[in-house]
């Protein structure tokens, strides 16, 4: 059940649906102080699935980001990777082997590697963790999760991270349908609001970087309103600058909804291979009755479909319908567009320097 690793240039990483595993994401994060590194994994299929032959092999790319915590120490971060997904019982074994292979390619002062796993959450497949068919209560306590993930590993060194970075729960839409079918799969209120917005005169258009200030005004108002940490205007401008501008790469579309020349809502739609991702959104509190955000989201879905995407990722939601969850309203809005709720495994750590890792873990848990 061997696994091999080779360095790979960032720009040589293959196109993928997984946006945070693209050269584009490496460039964006490079502008934010991370050091991106690319690798090719060459693995026996038996390591991923015990039912497969040990002679069969599969290759896949992985993007790793190095971030220095201070002048002397750093950690490694794998956003939504690795993409290769083992069977449940082999997830820990695979991560252990990969972590040990990566160790020699990382700085010697690397405290731990953090995998932000996009793999389907194991406990979201078990009825014991649902209070009803539509209400997933979430995974068990961290120590129970760790016991299962570390089963069959040599070191029992995998730890559930105290924090998650990228969204763990999201609504995914299957775009391999006609527009009429997509509309019929939506909740009645969502269809009604889309049609109402169109009848009221909401116009959706794509704009370039020259309108980044209009986007930022909506975004900053939204962030302040919802108590979300603010990114800078330059951050969003860099997203535009780092796009690939080619069909097999990552393309950015800034869509804005206006009414009589006033921008009411906007979003960053990101197209990566066969997936469209609703990466960032913003809206005004003015003229809420016009339902601009509904028309905007529907147009983004249509644009992604015309581009050739077969999936649409809403990129973030509450895990269930708990009214006390801070993303409850977001969950209701996104659920209305007819997708299915997907639960990811979230962040898992493999410490290299245990004592220093425990100090960082305690600090993160207390924030």
Give the model confidence (pLDDT) of 244-298 as tens digits. 977 678 999 999 999 998 999 999 999 999 999 999 999 998 887 789 999 999 9
Token couple for 181: 């079918």
Locate the domains of the chain by residue range. 3-166+345-366, 177-309
Cα dihedral 295, 289, 314, 318, rounded to 10, equals: -170
The CA-based dihedral angle spanning residues 48, 49, 50, 52, taken in that order and rounded to the nearest 10 degrees: -110
Arch. (CATH architecture) of 3-166+345-366: 3-Layer(aba) Sandwich (3.40)
Using a cut of 0.85, tell me whether the model's pTM lies above it.
Answer: yes
Of residues 345, 344, 335, the one with CA closest to residue 314: 335
Mean per-residue pLDDT, 234-241: 93
One fold for both 3-166+345-366 and 177-309? yes
pLDDT reported for residue 366:
86
Least confident of 128-142, 185-199, 297-311: 128-142
Q: What is the dihedral of CA 188, 190, 191, 197, to 10 degrees?
A: 140
Residue 2 pLDDT level (bands cut at 50, 70, 90): confident
Residue 152 pLDDT class (50, 70, 90 cuts): very high
pLDDT, one tens digit per residue, over 96-123 is: 999 999 999 999 999 999 999 999 999 9
Please say if the pLDDT value at position 226 is more than 90. Answer: no
**Pairing of the two strands 74-79 and 110-120:** parallel
Q: What is the mean pLDDT of residues 198-218?
A: 95
**Per CATH, which fold does 177-309 belong to?**
Aminopeptidase (3.40.630)
Q: What is the mean pLDDT of residues 336-354?
A: 97
The Cα–Cα gap between 263 and 340 comes to 30
Tens of pLDDT along 46-90?
999 999 988 899 999 999 999 999 999 999 999 999 999 999 999
Give the mean model confidence (pLDDT) for residues 214-226: 92
Q: Which pLDDT score is estimated for 54?
A: 84
72, two tokens: 């002397």
Average pLDDT along the chain = 94
Task: Summarize the confidence of residues 349-367 as an average pLDDT.
Answer: 93
To the nearest 10°, report the CA torsion of 131, 132, 134, 137: 10
- Listed in sequence order, the residues at least 6 apart from 226 whose beta carbon sits closer than 8 Å to its beta carbon are none
Looking at residue 299, its pLDDT comes to: 98
Q: How far apart are CA 78 and CA 64, in angstroms?
A: 5
Is residue 41 helix, strand or coil? strand
User: Among 280, 294, 290, 297, which Cα is nearest to 215's?
Assistant: 280
End-to-end, the C-alpha distance of the chain in Å comes to 40
Cβ pair 213, 260 in contact under 8 A:
no
pLDDT of residue 1: 59
């Amino acid at each position: 059940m061997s696994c091999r690793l080779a360095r790979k240039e960032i720009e040589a990483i293959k196109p993928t649906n997984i946006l945070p595993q693209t050269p584009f994401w490496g460039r964006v994060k490079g502008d934010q102080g991370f050091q991106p590194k690319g690798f090719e994994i060459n693995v026996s299929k038996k390591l991923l699935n015990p039912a497969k032959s040990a002679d069969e092999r599969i290759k896949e790319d992985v993007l790793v980001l190095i971030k220095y915590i201070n002048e002397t120490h750093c950690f490694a971060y794998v956003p939504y990777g690795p993409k290769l997904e083992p069977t449940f019982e082999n997830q820990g074994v695979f991560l252990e082997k990969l972590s040990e292979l990566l160790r020699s390619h990382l700085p010697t002062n690397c405290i731990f590697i953090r995998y932000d796993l996009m793999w389907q959450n194991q406990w979201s497949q078990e009825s014991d963790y649902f209070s009803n068919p539509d209400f997933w209560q979430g995974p068990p306590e961290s120590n129970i999760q760790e016991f299962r993930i570390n089963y069959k590993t040599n070191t029992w060194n995998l730890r559930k991270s105290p924090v998650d970075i990228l969204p763990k729960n999201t609504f995914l839409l299957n775009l391999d349908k006609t527009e009429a079918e997509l509309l019929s799969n939506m909740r009645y209120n969502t269809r009604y609001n889309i049609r109402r917005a169109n009848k009221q005169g909401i116009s959706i258009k794509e704009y370039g970087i020259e309108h980044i200030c209009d986007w930022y005004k909506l975004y900053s108002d939204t962030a302040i309103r919802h108590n979300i940490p603010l990114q800078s205007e330059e951050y969003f401008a860099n997203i535009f600058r780092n796009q690939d501008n080619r069909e097999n790469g990552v393309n950015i579309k800034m869509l804005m909804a206006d009414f009589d020349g006033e921008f009411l809502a906007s979003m960053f739609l990101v197209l990566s291979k066969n997936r469209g991702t609703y990466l960032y959104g913003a809206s005004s509190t003015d003229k809420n009755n016009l339902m601009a955000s509904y028309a905007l989201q529907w147009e983004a879905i249509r644009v992604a479909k015309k581009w050739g995407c077969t999936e649409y990722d809403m990129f973030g939601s509450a895990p269930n319908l708990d009214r006390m969850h801070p993303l409850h309203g977001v969950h209701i809005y996104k659920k209305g567009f007819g997708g299915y709720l997907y639960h990811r495994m979230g962040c898992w750590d493999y410490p290299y320097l245990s004592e220093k890792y425990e100090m960082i873990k305690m600090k993160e848990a207390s924030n």
